[in-house]
Amino acid sequence: MATEPRLIRNFSIVAHIDHGKSTLADQLLLQTGAITQREFKAQILDDLQIEKERGITVKARTVVIYYEYKGEKYELNLIDTPGHVDFHYEVSRSLAACEGALLLVDAFQGVQAQTVANAYASINANLTIIPVVNKIDLPVTRIDEVLEEVETVIGLDPSDALMVSAKTGIGVKEVLDAIVERIPPPDGLADGPLKALVFDSKYDHYRGVVTYVRVVQGTIEKGQTVVLMRGGTKLDIIDIGQFTPHMKAVKSLGPGQVGYLVSGAKELDNVHVGDTIANPRNLPEAPLPGYQKPQQMVFCGMYPIEATDFEKLRDELSKLSLNDASFSFVPETSDALGFGFRCGFLGMLHMEIIQQRLEQEFNIDLLQTAPNVTYQILEQNGNIVLIDNPQDVPDASRIKEFREPVVLVTFILPAENIGTMMQLCADRRGIYKNTEYLGTNRAQLIYELPLAEIVYDMYDRLKSATRGYGTMDYEILGFRSADLVKMDILVKSEKVDALSTIVHRSQSERRGRALVKRLKEEISKHQFEIPIQAAIGGKIIARETIKALKKNVTAKCYGGDITRKRKLWEKQKEGKKRLKQFGQVEIPQKAFLAVLDATKDE
């Protein structure tokens, strides 16, 4: 029997990374009896191996908990979300399935960059926000200052904030009461035309595609035939249920409820996140708004080391893209690396996570090329072309304007580090926008920066400059014209397409020198000399040479006639000449990532 909408509350927990979202989620499950004390362990909702290893949430997870309040039993649907900037798309999808959000703030660290970004995302989604100050059990806290930051930076009433320690359980009952009292119930008629939002999906090896849905209107039942309005695909529902936190079958889901559907669909292309599920006999007037398609900004090539793994890699990438709609891939070939895929990501951490999951969960050895961002080229004939691979850059004579993506970056950092950070931004072609003080010793610094300049190591540099206290968040502003050029790398006079990069002309010589120097360290010596060159068009801008391996061919000649030695040396010289012509240079995986190290060395 579906729960009455007035007794349902759908909410998310949003916060900056490491402010205690998953710990609070665990505590809510424990205090409502969804899990036992024996089952209670750190981050029960973080079930991916990589989440446990890194201690971060990568995937949004959903769970239903039941709470007794004033004699009535309420159904609370919690959607746990990631906090890292790269997974902001996961957060936006989760918020579309909710009516309210708990905004978690660390009692010592206070409001950070992602706190602000997630708060504004919740406000834009018209959610009721409950501010929660977590970690009040810490030996050192700044609760008064943190409440002041909540008011000045985010604009929420500090008197509404709840004081909690997710680790010890202090204040968790007050949080549950506030969810029931403050978050509005979902609206939607049980007898109206069926409308359910697909907000996630994953592939199960035994059951096929498992679709996560939030019912907005109408009722969905086991055995029913439904249609996906965007794709027009019809599905027969074999199983329906909720996460408690483990999968638990139910007969039906009503308005406001969150759960999963199993239709036995094996085709991964049939289910799209953001689609609307409807009854084919009683279609609603219009589908739900769904989601904006995420814009991948970082691309890299992924090639199986074993050529026979190509099809296996394609299958696993399909399964990952089903579970992560912000990831995309297309096949490509490279002269140096053979057959592989060009993969798109939201950021560098997102790329690392996907690569680690492929290697750990699916057992595929990968060779990955250096990542690059998406560029836009205006050709002489007026065509606008998007370039996500430096190999695709057209001839310079065809380019009228080369454009790069620009982002608005918000840094929140200790006031004493402002000078260091401004210098770092100036070195990376940043345009200063604004500085705002959030208290006596913290400030918000806003810059416009090219995405290519921040995507590799800006986060690491920020952490070093601020001793770990600085945080950053960015949003894409669009494309802007810049003096960019394609830099090719030639190894033994042959272009290595996978090492090509796009750089700003003013930095090209410095980057070129740093890159060939790094490649010289990574490529081992061969029996012939290897020149490594960086070139822009036909102009060589940097060169390093790897000397040939020397073998003492006259070691066996003790004294004797010099002509014998000369004969051996001549023979060696001939052999080297032939090798120089036909010998293949082996380029290791590290060399393809040397492009990144070269940017860090500057």
Chain segment 354-410, per-residue pLDDT in tens: 887 787 777 777 777 777 788 888 888 888 888 877 877 888 788 888 888 888 888
- Separation between Cα atoms, residue 203 and residue 321, nearest integer Å: 10
* CATH 2.40.30.10, domain 195-278, yes or no: yes
DSSP structural state of residue 380: T
18 is in an annotated binding site: yes
Q: Say if residue 339's pLDDT is above 50.
A: yes
136 is in an annotated binding site: yes
- Separation between Cα atoms, residue 584 and residue 21, nearest integer Å: 52
Amino acid at 225: T
157 is in an annotated binding site: no
Q: Say if residue 80's pLDDT is above 80.
A: no
Q: In which residue ranges of the chain is CATH 2.40.30.10 found?
A: 195-278
Beta strands per DSSP E along 250-327: 252-253, 258-262, 276-278, 298-304
- Separation between Cα atoms, residue 59 and residue 50, nearest integer Å: 11
22 is in an annotated binding site: yes
- Separation between Cα atoms, residue 563 and residue 552, nearest integer Å: 16
Question: pLDDT value at position 348?
Answer: 73
> Torsion angle, CA of 47/53/55/59, rounded to 10 degrees?
-40
Q: Say if residue 582's pLDDT is above 50.
A: no
Of residues 353 and 55, more confidence is placed in 353
Chain segment 449-508, per-residue pLDDT in tens: 988 888 777 777 887 888 777 877 787 788 888 888 888 888 877 787 777 888 888 888
What CATH number should be reported for the domain whose range is 505-601?
Answer: 3.30.70.2570
Residue 550 exposed, middle or buried by CB count within 10 Å (0-12, 13-18, 19+):
exposed
**What number is the average pLDDT over the span 544-548?**
81
- Separation between Cα atoms, residue 527 and residue 550, nearest integer Å: 7
Chain segment 282-301, per-residue pLDDT in tens: 777 777 766 666 667 788 88
Q: Say if residue 279's pLDDT is above 70.
A: yes
Helix (H, G, I), strand (E, B) or coil at 19: coil
Q: In which residue ranges of the chain is CATH 3.40.50.300 found?
A: 5-182
DSSP-derived secondary structure for 105-141: EETTTBS-HHHHHHHHHHHHTT-EEEEEEE-TTSSS-
- Separation between Cα atoms, residue 499 and residue 569, nearest integer Å: 36
Question: pLDDT value at position 58?
Answer: 45
Question: pLDDT value at position 581?
Answer: 44
pLDDT band with cut points at 50, 70 and 90 for residue 112: confident
Chain segment 139-159, per-residue pLDDT in tens: 888 888 888 888 888 888 888
Low-confidence winner among 268-282, 402-416, 430-444, 508-522 (lowest mean pLDDT)? 268-282
- Separation between Cα atoms, residue 181 and residue 587, nearest integer Å: 63
Beta strands per DSSP E along 268-420: 276-278, 298-304, 328-334, 338-345, 366-368, 372-373, 375-379, 384-387, 399-414
Q: Say if residue 526's pLDDT is above 50.
A: yes
| CATH code matching the domain that covers 376-481, chosen among 3.30.70.240, 3.40.50.720, 3.40.50.2000, 2.40.50.140 | 3.30.70.240
End-to-end Cα, the chain, rounded Å: 64
The CB density around residue 159, as the number of other CB atoms within 10 Å, is 8
pLDDT band with cut points at 50, 70 and 90 for residue 85: low
Q: In which residue ranges of the chain is CATH 3.30.70.240 found?
A: 376-481
Q: Say if residue 57's pLDDT is above 50.
A: no
135 is in an annotated binding site: yes
Q: Pick from 106, 109, 86: which is nearest to 467 by CA?
A: 109
Over the chain, what is the mean pLDDT? Answer: 78
- Separation between Cα atoms, residue 477 and residue 257, nearest integer Å: 36
**What number is the average pLDDT over the span 535-547?**
83
Question: pLDDT value at position 16?
Answer: 76
Amino acid at 301: G
DSSP structural state of residue 153: I
552 is in an annotated binding site: no
Question: pLDDT value at position 540?
Answer: 86
* CATH 2.40.110.10, domain 5-182, yes or no: no
Q: Say if residue 229's pLDDT is above 70.
A: yes
- Residue 116 in contact with residue 153, Cβ under 8 Å? yes
> Any residues with CB less than 8 A from the CB of 56 and at least 6 apart, and which?
17, 18, 46, 82, 83, 84
**What number is the average pLDDT over the span 266-275?**
68
Q: Say if residue 247's pLDDT is above 60.
A: yes
Range with the largest mean pLDDT of 306-310, 370-374, 534-538 = 534-538
- The pair of structure tokens assigned to 197 is 């939002």
Amino acid at 328: S
The Cα-based distances of 204 to 175, 263, 398 in angstroms read: 34, 12, 48
| Angle formed at CA 386 by CA 383 and CA 391, multiple of 5 degrees | 110
pLDDT band with cut points at 50, 70 and 90 for residue 119: confident
Question: pLDDT value at position 90?
Answer: 54
**What number is the average pLDDT over the span 405-426?**
87
* CATH 1.10.1040.50, domain 298-370, yes or no: no
- What letters, b where the CB count within 10 A reaches 16 and e where it falls short, cover 511-531? bbbbbbbbbbebbeebebebe
- 3-state percent breakdown (helix, strand, coil) of the chain, nearest 5: 30, 35, 35
DSSP-derived secondary structure for 508-532: HHHHHHHHHHHHHHHSPP-SS-EEE
324 is in an annotated binding site: no
Q: In which residue ranges of the chain is CATH 3.30.70.870 found?
A: 298-370
Q: Is 527 left (phi over 0), alpha (psi -120 to 50) or beta?
A: alpha
137 is in an annotated binding site: yes
> Any residues with CB less than 8 A from the CB of 312 and at least 6 apart, and which?
304, 362, 364
DSSP structural state of residue 85: G
What's phi and psi for 383, nearest 5 deg?
A: -70, 145
Q: What is the CA radius of gyration of the chain?
A: 28
Q: Say if residue 93's pLDDT is above 70.
A: no
